[in-house]
A = this chain, B = another copy of it.
Amino acid sequence: MRKSEIDTPALILDLDLVEENIATMAEYFRARPQKLRPHFKTPKTAEIARRQLAAGAIGITAAKLGEAEVLARAGLGPILIANQVAGETKIDRLFAVAARVETIATVESEFNVRELEAGGARAGRSLDVIIEVDTGMHRCGAETPDETVALARRISRGPLRYRGVMGYEGHAVLLPDPLKREATAREALSILSRHVNALREAGLAPEIVSAGGTGTYDIAGSWPDVTEVQAGSYVFMDGAYRVVRPDLGKPALTLLTTVISRRGDRAIIDAGMKSLTNEFGPPQGKDLPVKVTRLSEEHGHLAAGSLEIAPGSKIEIVPSHGDTTINLHSEYYVVRGDDVVAIWPIEGARAYR
């Protein structure tokens, strides 16, 4: 099958560029004490995780239990779930995942610890855990070193295995100004280091210190206290990250669309909010200088000016936010040049609990 024969809207992966992006990031971490544990929340397919592990990643980071289950079924890991798993149903599934693949869970309060301990008692197993630290994003995470130390002590006295901490500087990774991004990331990592130091002083030195995203991989990846980086978007480099890190990788993900209407200075494509997202700004054409200025549910409005774009034309769009766009799709069409060489299922997509 040729790329031009794919029905639309469809996600296209340029496998040459994917491999290049994986190699570029792997190369950065090859000779460092810090290691890479790439985030699964972006690609959501075992095919990518397998290639990242083959390139030297020390494991995979997951954003939720459903993603960890996809990885465990594929026998890929070790897995770090960088989010709280709550509720008996999920915690029982979490222990089932941990029985198949080495798994590290993340806690941020005594509530999580108690729930996981009860789950461990039900499963007759222990579980590795790290503590989430709020390094400035103000979402989840222990807020003071005292809180982190108290939580680490609490864990160490019980049946769970205390392994370390994580602090994701999500408020820094997409700042377009490089100086501001670096300063914000350094401030966040300094907070993380204060928690790490307090743990060391309490005799609870963390073995794992996880941080960083694609926008800050080299800041977190060269921070002495950090042991691993959880970047994910680097594998595809969506529109938002191309602006933030033009130095890093190449845009490997596009959405193939068909023009269904052409009137005045607008062209309408067959991709709306149900197959493309725009919370990170207007998606743009890959080969054509067009912007998706507005999304209806099933229509995308292209500012096409006087470009010769006839109804029926196929146009490749670079998503501005890969993660949420990928979440709307069930498969990738994987191409080398214009040839479709594989179709990969996006096993972790949707509201996968």
Contacts and interface: CB of A to CB of B under 8 A. Distances in A.
Nearest to A110: B311
A296 B262 CA distance: 35
Nearest to A143: B263
Interface in A255-278: 258-263, 266, 268, 270-271, 273-275, 277
A69 interface: no
A328 B353 contact: no
Contacts of A109: 261-262, 311
B324 A261 contact: no
Given A274-B324, A274-B351, A311-B111, A298 B10 contact: no
Contacts of A157: none
A250 interface: no
A185 B63 CA distance: 44
A268 B349 contact: no
A244 B194 CA distance: 50
A255 to B, nearest CB: 9
Interface in A219-276: 258-263, 266, 268, 270-271, 273-275
B328 A8 contact: no
A7 B90 contact: yes
Interface stretch (A71-79, A81-89, A121-129, A282-290): A81-89
Given A7-B89, A112-B311, A261-B108, A296 B170 contact: yes
B84 A260 contact: yes
Given A296-B139, A312-B111, A351 B275 contact: yes
Given A324-B273, A353-B9, A139 B63 contact: no
Nearest to A87: B258
Given A7-B353, A263-B143, A298 B63 contact: yes
Nearest to A261: B140
Contacts of A349: 350
Closest 10 CB pairs of A and B: A275-B351, A111-B311, A140-B261, A84-B260, A7-B89, A274-B327, A86-B260, A328-B351, A329-B351, A63-B298
